Amino acid sequence: MISVAMCTYNGAKFLPEQLESIANQIVPVDELVVCDDGSTDDTIQVLRSFSEKLPFPVFIHQNEKNLGSTKNFEKCLSLCRGDIIFFSDQDDAWRDDKVKKQIAYFDAHPEIDAVFSDAMIMDDDSKPTGHTIWEEIEFNEAAQNKWMHGGSHEILFKGFVVTGATLSIRKSALPALMPFPTHVPDFIHDAYIAMILSLQEKIEFINEPLVSYRIHASQQVGFGAKVEYVRFRDRFSRDRDEKLIPLQEKADKLEKLYLLLLQVPLYPKDKLRKLRAAKNHFSKRANLPKNRVRRFIPVFTDVVNGKYSFSSKDWWLPVFGDLFE
């Protein structure tokens, strides 16, 4: 049985396109479970109207209070009855063979609990931008090879790779994963699922863009977010605390993630050694002395030990900043 878990919140504008794409799958789904988190637009009306035309049942649940995306997805997943559950955003569009491809992968790999894919990026007008998510996050051939050879968790320690909108999972894997934690900043449901399953080597990918992923013009988070880079000449004029605050925030986030993963009894804890090294590296950077001369030895030590690779692929840039800013 195949379920689709969709969470909605004021998504009426783009929802019909997503619903159409689910209805047009070559391999049909058996149910669509929707948890709405308090929409004030026409989302519920769109869902009800469309459900009358769909060849499968649609179960619409309206939350009495706003749960937020992570807990809303947790609720939605728990209500799904399918053996395989497909995650769905409210504003994307699926390729018509998405379900077929991912179900075939599960059939061919019974040891795998989840599979994700690449996605084409489209704009507000549903026009492709010519780029994919994996291009944006540099999940390139080298990273994919590392993933396939047991290094998936180390890739995820550095940042997000698995996009929930492309993810499907065996329902049998969920009891060990829920409830989802909410106390680690930015570590939402799909990131947590991907992290735990990667540590167990039970999540793989299909190297095809099975989804058109919408990035909005005003998007502030996710792949469409605008990153403000520090200009070289500003590095010497900005307040030192302005540099150190994000480093400390990163160290604190990695500390919370490390402590969280230590408590999960599903995999060997030696797999966390690079995460521990990363959190220690960022904590050291955030607490370098004001005196530039005294910074040399701790910075040089982390350079020799390759720790600045945690900060950037262009490792010499943070080294320069730590020594002279």
243 plus 213 within the same structural domain:
no
CATH number of the structural domain spanning residue 169: 3.90.550.10
Query: What is the average per-residue pLDDT within 183-211?
Result: 95
138 plus 238 within the same structural domain:
no
Query: What is the average per-residue pLDDT within 214-240?
Result: 61
- The answer to whether 89 and 164 have CB atoms below 8 angstroms apart is yes
Q: Is the pLDDT of residue 221 over 50?
A: no
19 plus 138 within the same structural domain:
yes
Decide if 33 is inside a domain. Answer: yes
Q: Is the pLDDT of residue 243 over 90?
A: no
Decide if 227 is inside a domain. Answer: no
- The answer to whether 222 and 215 have CB atoms below 8 angstroms apart is yes
Decide if 272 is inside a domain. Answer: yes
The encoded tokens of residue 286 equal 């955030």
Task: Provide, rounded to the nearest whole percent, the portion of the chain with pLDDT above 90.
Answer: 84
What pLDDT is stored for residue 68 in this prediction? 92
147 plus 287 within the same structural domain:
no
What pLDDT is stored for residue 235 in this prediction? 62
Distance CA 11, CA 279 (A): 37
26 plus 132 within the same structural domain:
yes
From 61-70, 171-180, 234-243, the region with the lowest mean pLDDT: 234-243
Q: Is the pLDDT of residue 100 over 80?
A: yes
Q: Which helix (H) or strand (E) holds 31?
A: strand 31-36
Q: Is the pLDDT of residue 183 over 60?
A: yes
Which of 222, 240, 272 terminates a domain? The answer is 222
Banded model confidence at residue 59, pLDDT cuts 50, 70, 90: very high
Q: Is the pLDDT of residue 270 over 90?
A: yes
164 plus 301 within the same structural domain:
no
Decide if 13 is inside a domain. Answer: yes
Q: Whole domain around residue 213: which residue ranges?
A: 2-222
Secondary structure (DSSP) of 257-323:
HHHHHHT-TTS-GGGGHHHHHHHHHHHHHHT--SSHHHHHHHHHHHHHTTGGGGT-SSTHHHHHHHH
Distance CA 255, CA 158 (A): 13
81 plus 190 within the same structural domain:
yes
Q: Provide the domain count of the chain.
A: 2
Decide if 110 is inside a domain. Answer: yes
pTM: 0.90
* Sign of the dihedral through C-alpha 188, 213, 89, 114: negative
Query: What is the average per-residue pLDDT within 10-25?
Result: 95
Residues 105-135 have pLDDT tens digits of 999 999 999 999 999 999 999 999 999 999 9
185 plus 237 within the same structural domain:
no
CA 286 to chain centre: 26
Q: Is the pLDDT of residue 150 over 70?
A: yes
298 plus 205 within the same structural domain:
no
What pLDDT is stored for residue 325 in this prediction? 84
Decide if 16 is inside a domain. Answer: yes
Distance CA 266, CA 151 (A): 17
Average pLDDT, the chain: 92
What pLDDT is stored for residue 216 in this prediction? 78
Query: What is the average per-residue pLDDT within 252-280?
Result: 94
201 plus 310 within the same structural domain:
no
Distance CA 302, CA 323 (A): 12
Estimate the share of the chain in helix, then strand, then coil, as percent rounded to the nearest 5: 50, 15, 35
Query: What is the average per-residue pLDDT within 274-287?
Result: 95
210 plus 163 within the same structural domain:
yes
* Bridge-based pairing state of the strands 114-122 and 31-36: unpaired
Distance CA 153, CA 62 (A): 35
Q: Is the pLDDT of residue 225 over 90?
A: no
What pLDDT is stored for residue 313 in this prediction? 84
Beta bridge partners of 85: 3, 169
Residue 39 burial (10 A CB sphere; 0-12, 13-18, 19+)? buried
Which of 193, 222, 251 terminates a domain? The answer is 222
Decide if 162 is inside a domain. Answer: yes
Query: What is the average per-residue pLDDT within 44-64?
Result: 93
Which of 222, 246, 281 terminates a domain? The answer is 222
Decide if 10 is inside a domain. Answer: yes
155 plus 291 within the same structural domain:
no
